[in-house]
Chains A and B, each alone.
Chain A
Amino acid sequence: MTHTGLEFAGFESADTVSARLASVGYISTASISTAVYLAHHLRKPILIEGPAGVGKTDLARSLSQSMEFPLLRMQCYEGLDESKALYEWKYGKQLLYTQILKEKIHHLIGDADGLDESFKKLAGFQDLFFSREFLEPRPLLKAMEQAGGSVLLIDEIDKSDEEFEALLLEVLSDYQVTVPEIGTIEAIVPPLVILTSNNTRELGDALKRRCLHLHIDFPNADLEARIVRSRVPDISERLLAQLVAFIQLVRDENIRKLPSISETIDWAKTLLLLHADSLDPVMVRNTLNVILKRQTDIAEVNSQVDQLVRKVLSEQAEPA
């Protein structure tokens, strides 16, 4: 993580965001950079929505890399609760502590007579049992504790239960966590929070209100080519243009699971391995399972491979 060599000093403009992200290989769009820029200055979380595989999670990772902040990731799932997200008490350690207490208690109250006096004496000691020492921080609390700043990624928030959203509100709006036994723990440096959602369910208004909204869609051909080029630098321009054009056509077909950028990249790597320098129908057919993940989709596209490849090749030939 020493690629930039510069201490991160904040984003001065949306263009700085783009440049920073580009330096770690993330090709950003203007709207992505703007959202990050605003989030950074307004201290608001970003809620990213969009189809799977368009680089939502990757944005968080790249941001943490480019800002040189640690990335704290919390994967959401059904049944996720505060003991997994916020904090947990270290039960084992607490147990041990009680054991020790049991043995040492005679020393402590040895000379006191009567119950009242013993209690008074005990009250003089701190309540160690519920203190920071026995607190096991989970990602959200951990993010509050990062002195140098951090990027907090709350991944696939739509997978969690609605109750969990309510739990997040305090963290998202005030950057603090309240532990009843201890009090409120405020963030040393507010983390840059990124939430992602695949829209499997509608998120609550309270959550949405606290976030900036960013929708990332499938990229256009030009952007997709740039992304693939940055990830698979060895690919020839000819093949790159063809395969991106092909993917763009496939996305217009009547299929269930559209190929995403990650699939385009995988496909580019596959074709590179096979020493292809141009698309041909046979090779496309054989590697279709890289970009399509459903049997029905493969069957659907398979029947049209010839036609699609011809279309791509003729389009490529024209401008040349």
Chain B
Amino acid sequence: MERTLTNYIRALRTAGAGVSTTEAIDAVRALELVGYQDRGLLKMSLAAVLAKSQEEEVLHDRLFDLYFSHAETKPPRQTQQQSDNQDDSDSASDGSDSDSEGEESNGQPSNGQKQPGSGQGGGSGQDKSGEAGEDAPLDLLELAQSGDATRMAMAMAQAGARADVDQIRFATQVPYFVRRMLEELGAEKLDKQLMAALDERTAEGTARAEALIEARSTLMRNARAYVEARFEVFGRSASEAFMNEVMMDRSLGALTKSDMERMKPIIAKMAKKLAAKHARRRKVRNRGQLDLRRTLRANAGNDGVPFDVIWKTKRKDKPKIVTVCDVSGSVARYVRFLLLVLYALREKVTDLETFCFSSHLVDVNHDLESLPFDAAMDKILREVGNGSTDYGRAFTDLSRQYDSTIDKRTTVLILGDGRNNNGDPAMGIFQDIAAKAKRVIWLCPEHPASWGSGDSALLQYKPFCSSLTHCSTVADLEHALDDVLLAYG
């Protein structure tokens, strides 16, 4: 019984839910309590025990249906004796009485129903009873012709367990595992029979061959369906996780429209991770310095005797970020991602001002806050994005019009390639901004090799930036923002 559950937990883990051992134990206890009878109840119970966030609950919902729907087609165990005793010359009926022992070891039929793991149990039982004939194969022909879905499912589950189908990771592995399953089922023997039947060159032989071919394709179809179902449970999420990993390191500039949609949950997850990492309280105890006023106040009830001693604390700054983004053609895509992350971090970074520019600087806070993100971005790109890039003008605007937004707590985050169309970089003003702000961090989507080439003024700005980093993938973005938040303890 636990086998089914541990396999399910494994499936959940592959799908990215962090199920700890404690939770696994709880799941077993919950299962003992509610049993397999009421599927809806079981689902909700496992959700309460195993899924610890809304995302995990969605995951559980999906996987549970996949995993246990397959299980439900499984019959009460039925058929240990079939696989054990029946060899190809035997018919199914006379194997039944010789096997009381095996039946008992297979145990509790009432609990055994509806579980896919029972197949595995059967498999191992078979190994033990090796003296009955080494791994006696099924009568595949009889099985395929009988049209008995229950027995077929049983055989598939056993062969699947032996072929380790649960290890499947990618859709491309399906044919391989189907082949392994057929091998485990003993299809080789079927092939030999087929060859023999064909060699007979009689009408009877041909008829037998046709039946065998038919049986073989039935088996193949069933094996394929089984492997595909297992892939849904164990493989899909694993390969998705792999794809996401790949995405993290893809250049943002090279992403297609469909990639963008895929990126959104990744970014949301990353923002959550960042927020959690920096969620530590920003209070640092200044040990040794007594806060006399608060100590007296707290101990007034004790006749002024200082039982409770209160020390002075220092509060660390809350993150305050001013983002200045170049939204001209080449950089626009990166801006979308930076802002997506920043706004996903809204919980953590409450003090966030965003300005975009190509030829002049525009305050885009209102758009970003009032419109859905994609609509806001489209509007910004439409309204701000079509001018020739002028970094000098942007910094001048920033320091003239929005002077008050920058103080010594502020991190100025600049995203741009520094390509200034040979205009005036306004170095003096940039220097002033840098002096006033806590830090200036410049993220450049271009590869370092091309910094300063052509009309890029990047290297002129570089000495005044606290850091200038190459930023072209989501992983880069994560590092950069981690760095920004780190400065605020």
Contacts and interface: CB of A to CB of B under 8 A. Distances in A.
A205 B45 contact: no
13 contacts: A30-B40, A30-B41, A31-B48, A92-B303, A162-B280, A202-B275, A202-B279, A208-B52, A209-B20, A213-B48, A213-B49, A214-B48, A215-B57
Contacts of B149: none
B280 A42 contact: no
Contacts of B29: 42
B22 interface: yes
A202 B54 CA distance: 12
A56 interface: no
B44 interface: yes
B281 interface: yes
Contacts of B279: 162, 201-202
A215 B23 contact: no
A222 to B, nearest CB: 17
Interface string A12-36: 0010000000000000001100110
B22 A34 contact: no
Interface in B47-68: 47-49, 51-54, 57
A91 B26 contact: no
Interface pairs A-B: 7 shortest CB-CB: A34-B44, A91-B302, A208-B52, A212-B48, A35-B48, A202-B276, A31-B44
A288 interface: no
Nearest to A33: B44
Contacts of B347: 200-201
A212 B49 contact: yes
A198 to B, nearest CB: 12
B449 interface: no
B33 A41 contact: yes
A205 B48 CA distance: 15
B253 interface: no
A135 interface: no
B281 A162 contact: yes
Contacts of B51: 213
B292 interface: no
Counting chain B CB atoms within 10 Å of each CB, which of A35, A92, A209, A210 scores highest?
Answer: A209
Nearest to B18: A205
A155 interface: no
A98 B30 CA distance: 53
Contacts of A161: 281
A95 B307 CA distance: 10
A210 B26 CA distance: 10
Given A211-B52, A214-B48, 15 more contacts: A31-B44, A31-B47, A35-B44, A38-B45, A41-B33, A91-B301, A91-B302, A91-B307, A200-B347, A205-B52, A209-B22, A212-B49, A213-B48, A215-B54, A215-B57
B399 to A, nearest CB: 32
A212 B53 CA distance: 10
Interface in A124-172: 161-163
A44 B44 contact: no
Interface residues of B, number: 34
A68 interface: no
Contacts of B302: 91-92, 95
B284 interface: no
A275 to B, nearest CB: 38
A15 to B, nearest CB: 10
A306 to B, nearest CB: 23
Interface string B460-475: 0000000000000000
B272 interface: yes
Contacts of B33: 37-38, 41-42
B52 A213 contact: yes
Contact of B48 (A34, A49, A201, A254): A34
A31 B34 CA distance: 13
Nearest to A208: B52
A201 to B, nearest CB: 6
Interface string B8-38: 0000000000101011001001100110000
A162 B279 CA distance: 9
Nearest to A78: B281
Nearest to B29: A42
B305 interface: yes
Interface in B343-372: 347, 372
Nearest to A40: B33
Counting chain A CB atoms within 10 Å of each CB, which of B48, B279, B301, B305 scores highest?
Answer: B48
A163 B281 CA distance: 9
Contacts of B48: 31, 34-35, 38, 46, 212-214
A41 B35 CA distance: 14
A213 B45 CA distance: 10
Interface string B268-286: 0000100110011100000
Contacts of A14: 41
Interface string A82-118: 0000000101100100000000000000000000000
A214 B397 CA distance: 51
Given A162-B281, A201-B279, A213-B52, A42 B44 contact: no
Contacts of A200: 347
